[in-house]
């Protein structure tokens, strides 16, 4: 079976659609190559190609049928995750084959922990009337189109009366700001500015966490006895970073409000002096 080219992701080399992954396996569960491919969100062709490159160990044979276990699945998931992050297959092969088999599960945990730890937000279906009422505005397709453009919402196919909120907390809080009297378009326009700047902060924080905590652990070969402490430290750092960012934003917001109020008072005072001068 031919191996995929460098950089091939989880899709099959012939472009065939993927099979949806199943729930996490039990520790002693075994499955055929078709079941393994489904759980790994790969095609059978790619599973066999990765096996041919030595990225997974041979299966347990029973007659002519091979049976795979959780270790095989975790290794394939690690390969898939690394490919999805843009690494070439050659780089993934070198990294995986130079690491002990026991490091696979830890590497997966570390990748998932560092990769958008609160990305598991559940989308919320809301009627257009309810969304408009939340913001105290009339129904407006243009506003929903703007939310869709920034990835905050999505139209529901064949249901023009509903909207799927991709980031419900952001949309709800934005609607609350609009309900207080701020223009809806102005609130929506703030999103890309906040997204860009907050992403830069997040990237810097993750880079620091990786350099100070994760990288030494990786350099040591991801030893199993150090894994709980390292993963626990990173997991605790993430909410701390969130709280620091929130506290600094509140401080900056208070300063901006004070400065704006001072500017407005100065302008009122200047206009008053001008009127007195004319009289």
pLDDT in tens, 206-222: 788 878 887 887 777 77
* pTM exceeding the 0.85 threshold for the entire prediction: no
Please list, residue by residue across 36-53, b when 16 or more beta carbons sit within 10 angstroms of its beta carbon and e when fewer do: bbbbbbbbbbbbbbbbeb
Kindly tell me if the per-residue pLDDT of 163 is higher than 90. Answer: yes
| CA end-to-end span of the chain | 94
What tens digit of pLDDT does each residue of 81-133 get?
A: 878 877 788 877 877 776 666 566 666 666 665 555 555 568 889 999 999 99
pLDDT for the residue numbered 45: 92
Residue 81: how many CA atoms within 13 Å on its side-chain side? 19
Kindly tell me if the per-residue pLDDT of 223 is higher than 80. Answer: no
Q: CA-to-CA distance for 215 and 221, rounded, in angstroms?
A: 10
């Amino acid at each position: 079976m031919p191996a995929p080219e460098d950089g091939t992701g989880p899709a099959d080399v012939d472009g065939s659609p993927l099979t949806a992954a199943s729930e996490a396996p039990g520790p002693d569960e075994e499955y055929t190559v078709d079941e393994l491919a489904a759980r790994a969100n790969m095609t059978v062709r790619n599973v066999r190609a990765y096996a041919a490159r030595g990225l997974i160990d041979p299966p347990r044979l029973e007659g002519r049928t091979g049976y795979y276990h959780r270790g095989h699945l975790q290794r394939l998931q690690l390969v898939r995750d690394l490919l999805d992050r843009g690494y070439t297959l050659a780089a993934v092969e070198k990294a995986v084959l130079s690491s002990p088999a026991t490091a696979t599960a830890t590497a997966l945990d570390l990748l998932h922990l560092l990769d958008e730890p609160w990305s598991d937000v559940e989308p919320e279906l809301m009627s257009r009337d309810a969304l408009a009422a939340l913001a105290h505005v009339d129904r407006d397709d243009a506003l929903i189109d703007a939310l869709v453009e920034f990835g905050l919402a999505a139209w529901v196919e064949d249901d023009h009366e509903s909207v799927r909120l991709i980031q419900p907390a952001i949309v709800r809080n934005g609607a609350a700001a609009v309900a207080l009297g701020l223009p809806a378009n102005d609130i929506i326009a703030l999103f890309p500015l906040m997204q860009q700047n907050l992403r830069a902060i997040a990237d810097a924080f993750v880079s620091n966490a990786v350099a100070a905590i994760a990288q030494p652990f990786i350099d040591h070969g991801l030893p199993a006895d150090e894994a709980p402490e390292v993963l626990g430290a990173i997991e605790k750092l993430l909410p701390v970073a969130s709280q620091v960012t929130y506290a600094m934003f509140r401080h900056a917001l208070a300063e901006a409000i004070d400065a704006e109020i001072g500017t407005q008072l100065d302008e009122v005072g200047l206009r008053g002096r001008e009127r007195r001068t004319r009289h």
